[in-house]
Structure 1
Amino acid sequence: MIVLKAVLASKDREYISAWLDFVQGSPSGSSIRFTAFSQWEAFRDHMNEQEGRELPDLVIAEPEFLNSWLSHGGETSGIPWLMLSEGLDEVDEDKRLMKYQPLPTLMDAVLNACRQPRRKKTHRPGQETLSIGVVSASGGSGKTAVAMHMAKQLGLAGYAVLYLNLETLDSSMPFLEKGLSRSGQRTLDAETGLSRLLYDLKVGRKESGKQGQAQSSSKGVDGYVLRHEVLKSDVFWPLSNRKELLQMSREDTKSLIRYLADCGQYDVLILDGDSGWDGRSEGIFDAADAFVWLVEDDISSMHRWGQWIQHMERTWPDLHESVLDRARFIVNKYRDSVINALPRPDLHLDAVLPYIPSWKQLSQEEVMLSSPIFQREVKRLCAMIVQDGEEELKQTGRIQKGDGWSL
């Protein structure tokens, strides 16, 4: 298990004592270790001694501690931080942690803000990356929101995760851009990562003379991807040239997914594709190990779901059977009960995800990734998918018994 390291700085010793007592008795206490300070000099010396050591995953401090540390190199250290505030400080809302609130709420905020140590997965014979496609027959079903929440929850659970958006019109950008810009990674190379990788893969296939065979994945993807701390995952900066996505074929998409899976750096790939029928969709259907297929409880969404399955059945009957075996059908934006009939007798529902009314009036992008109710249900969904993936990999001999997934 990955143990996170946090630094807590407050002049109030009783507050520190209450916090540490709670952590010691909390179920999540085993996953995080706190080092606490009530005096500036001790806090300063501790932070100055970090050179050559493994850095903390989060600093939580009152303004007089935090501002002094930030002005003396903390701002460029790369260590995430939260200001322990009583509400009067001028600081971005996502960096403010209200000092007096229920301790379980404080702990959830801390765990979400921690930098998840990036675990480089060692690619071992017999073990593969689990790729999960998040799909829907209808636009506006919440596909990107679910995909990003899954990436975040799996990242928080300690998995090495890559979120890949292949939508023609990328709807993830408003939620990702602020975090990427704050990280200081916004460079020309970073913004062209996916474009360069697609080009390199095409060149590799051309040189090999074998369709679908990419260059060796031994060099990994570090030169193409960015780390998104809020999402707890690696991401690609969204493509700015729509033509590159529109021209992606079924084989291009499969080659990309295979390369990302075979590079050995990730436990899970989250694949967020279009709601239309195109080469990218076909590639995801071919390559993904599992699917989260979203539907909404309305007549139009149910009808489109049935039409999509019927088209697949008539056009690619073998793929149709395979997709049904790998898919988990989920009602998103669920409100108390499902009132519409399913479009076909061979379809079923596996789970539901709640409707979050406040998302209709989003004014801050990061709020969408911070709903406790939605996070709880997505965590359950991730556990179901990962456990299913473990069983499938064991049955096919792709992992050894004992190498199982856990959440």
Structure 2
Amino acid sequence: MIVLKAVLASKDREYISAWLDFVQGSPFGATMRFTAFSQWESFQEYMHEHEGQELPDLVIAEPEFLNPWLESMGGEPGVPWLLLSEGHEDVEEDKRLMKYQPLPTLLDAVLNASRQPRRKKVHRLGQQTISIGVVSASGGSGKTAVALHMAKQLGLAGYAVLYLNLETLDSVLPFLEKGLKRSVQRMPDAETGLSRLLYDLKVSRKGSGKQGQTQTSSKGIDGYVLRHEGLKADVFWPLSNRKELLQMSCEDTTGLIQYLSIAGQYDVLILDGDSDWDGRSEGILEAADALVWLVEDDLSAMHRWGQWMLHAERTKPDLHQSVLDRACFVVNKYRDSVVNALPRPDLQLNAVLPYIPSWKQLSQEEVMLSSPIFQREIKRLCAMLVQDGEEDLKQTGRIHNGDGWAL
């Protein structure tokens, strides 16, 4: 379950107590955690201690707390905030939270305002390419839709992106084919780009004389890829010979990802593979810098997720721990709440992506790639994985500081 962390600051201790008592006894108690302060010094110390760490999802404060804090942060705190107001302050309406109104209404407003991404991994672009694998233990979890949306949103943000699909039976061509035909092709034999690159890399590895080592080709990547303008990313035309994919080993896959990364042409690689234990899937799990692990909120999907983790823990403990360190676990097709229990205590959810009913009857690529609701949540997911110039942010536990109440 995703727990939103918020800070509440008010001079009125009775108001704070009523707020926390209500949360503790309500359904909000499972989804929100508040740390509350009635003194400026304790609030200031707490916020200062958390600079450079994982900040709260939201700050709700009266003007006596909020204004000095915003001033100390230069007006750019990097944290969403709401002014706990009695109606006299000069502040934008979407930043005002009226102090005296029904507590369920207050907490609904808090929940909406704190829908900010929980950062799992932070990457400093401009230094090296980051590869993001979109994976799952269950088929039909929506990996391709998520991968395509991530590629598009990062491309729109100005990053150089390559989308790589390694599914045995790709589901992506119906959504990309029209756009590929409209794009300016970089090579006459567009449909053989990935096949030729895989062959060239095998020849390169043999020539290097070192197992698993891939030499950078002087050709670069331009000769193998196509630009897809609708996706705002480069892509490979899907392989038509399934045998080539079935024969790809884990070494072949890691070598391909390594080559695409060290070439330095892209900021982000989006990797899309099968939900299986084949060499391609294992290669993505081993080589990706970050993983978006999708799970659906149903009993079968949760069970498969747990079984995958159990099998990996028993057979490949190093890979199991590495996956836990790099993965952002995401419920896809989310509908208001997560009903099923997570399969293991060492697993936690980091984000959700909404269910889009209209995708059940897709007839055009533009429909799937243009859902405003899904795009908004994908942007937040991307922000969890790709941030300029920041260090990794680590989760912190409950903190009781001075007169602070933690719930």
TM-score of Structure 1 vs Structure 2, range by shorter chain: 0.5 to 0.7
Deviation at 1:195, TM superposition (A): 0.2
1:217/1:262 contact within 8 Å kept:
no
Deviation at 1:215, TM superposition (A): 2.5
Could you tell which deviates more after superposition, 271-280 or 180-189? 180-189
The question of 1:173 aligning with 2:186 is answered: no
Report the structure number with the largest CA radius of gyration.
2
Q: Which has the higher helix share?
A: 1
One-letter code aligned to 2:311 = H
Q: 2:69: which partner in 1?
A: none
What is the alpha-carbon distance in structure 1 between the residues aligned to residue 297 and residue 349 of structure 2? 11
What is the alpha-carbon distance in structure 2 between the residues aligned to residue 207 and residue 187 of structure 1? 26
Q: How does 1:335-354 map to 2 (within 5 A)?
A: 335-354=335-354
Structure 1 vs Structure 2: percent identity of aligned residues?
84
Q: 1:243: which partner in 2?
A: 243
* CA deviations over 1:315-350 (Å, ceiling 9, x no partner): 110111011000000000000000001111110000
Deviation at 1:244, TM superposition (A): 0.5
Q: 2:257: which partner in 1?
A: 257
2:136/2:275 contact within 8 Å kept:
yes
Q: 1:312: which partner in 2?
A: 312
What is the alpha-carbon distance in structure 1 between the residues aligned to residue 279 and residue 156 of structure 2? 32
Q: 2:206: which partner in 1?
A: 206
What is the alpha-carbon distance in structure 1 between the residues aligned to residue 213 and residue 204 of structure 2? 7
1:250/1:280 contact within 8 Å kept:
yes
Distance 1:351 1:312, change over 3 A: same
2:162/2:270 contact within 8 Å kept:
yes
2:330/2:350 contact within 8 Å kept:
yes
The question of 1:159 aligning with 2:163 is answered: no
Q: How does 1:317-336 map to 2 (within 5 A)?
A: 317-336=317-336
Moved over 4 A (4+): none
* CA deviations over 1:225-283 (Å, ceiling 9, x no partner): 00000000000000000010100001100000000000010000000011111111111
The question of 1:377 aligning with 2:377 is answered: yes
What is the alpha-carbon distance in structure 1 between the residues aligned to residue 391 and residue 323 of structure 2? 17
Q: 2:183: which partner in 1?
A: 183
One-letter code aligned to 1:375 = Q
1:353/1:378 contact within 8 Å kept:
yes
What is the alpha-carbon distance in structure 2 between the residues aligned to residue 244 and residue 261 of structure 1? 22
Q: 1:300: which partner in 2?
A: 300
Q: 1:272: which partner in 2?
A: 272
One-letter code aligned to 1:223 = G
| Partner SS, residue 309 of structure 1 | helix
Q: How does 1:208-223 map to 2 (within 5 A)?
A: 208-223=208-223
* CA deviations over 1:19-49 (Å, ceiling 9, x no partner): xxxxxxxxxxxxxxxxxxxxxxxxxxxxxxx
Q: How does 1:5-154 map to 2 (within 5 A)?
A: 127-154=127-154
Distance 1:240 1:186, change over 3 A: farther
What is the alpha-carbon distance in structure 2 between the residues aligned to residue 186 and residue 262 of structure 1? 21
* CA deviations over 1:176-204 (Å, ceiling 9, x no partner): 00100122539652110000000000000
> Per chain length, whose mean CA-contact separation is higher, i.e. which structure has more relative contact order (CA < 8 Å, sep 6+)?
2
Q: 1:195: which partner in 2?
A: 195
1:168/1:245 contact within 8 Å kept:
yes
What is the alpha-carbon distance in structure 1 between the residues aligned to residue 389 and residue 288 of structure 2? 11
Q: 1:356: which partner in 2?
A: 356
Structure 2 unmatched ranges of 5 or more: 1-124, 394-407
Distance 1:388 1:291, change over 3 A: farther
| Partner SS, residue 391 of structure 2 | helix
Q: 2:387: which partner in 1?
A: 387
Deviation at 1:217, TM superposition (A): 3.9
Distance 1:245 1:267, change over 3 A: same
TM-score of the aligned structures, taking structure 2 as reference length: 0.64
* CA deviations over 1:50-89 (Å, ceiling 9, x no partner): xxxxxxxxxxxxxxxxxxxxxxxxxxxxxxxxxxxxxxxx
The question of 1:366 aligning with 2:366 is answered: yes
What is the alpha-carbon distance in structure 2 between the residues aligned to residue 392 and residue 265 of structure 1? 24
1:289/1:389 contact within 8 Å kept:
no
What is the alpha-carbon distance in structure 2 between the residues aligned to residue 193 and residue 131 of structure 1? 20
| Partner SS, residue 219 of structure 1 | coil
TM-score of the aligned structures, taking structure 1 as reference length: 0.64
One-letter code aligned to 1:194 = L
Q: 2:70: which partner in 1?
A: none
One-letter code aligned to 2:358 = S
Distance 1:290 1:141, change over 3 A: same
Q: How many residues align?
A: 269
One-letter code aligned to 2:360 = K
What is the alpha-carbon distance in structure 2 between the residues aligned to residue 214 and residue 381 of structure 1? 32
Q: How does 1:388-407 map to 2 (within 5 A)?
A: 391=391
| Partner SS, residue 312 of structure 1 | helix
Q: CA RMSD in A?
A: 1.8
2:251/2:283 contact within 8 Å kept:
yes
1:251/1:283 contact within 8 Å kept:
yes
Deviation at 1:311, TM superposition (A): 1.1
One-letter code aligned to 1:277 = W
1:180/1:186 contact within 8 Å kept:
no
Q: 2:40: which partner in 1?
A: none
1:198/1:256 contact within 8 Å kept:
yes
What is the alpha-carbon distance in structure 1 between the residues aligned to residue 183 and residue 177 of structure 2? 10
What is the alpha-carbon distance in structure 2 between the residues aligned to residue 233 and residue 316 of structure 1? 34
Structure 1 unmatched ranges of 5 or more: 1-122, 394-407
Deviation at 1:392, TM superposition (A): 5.1
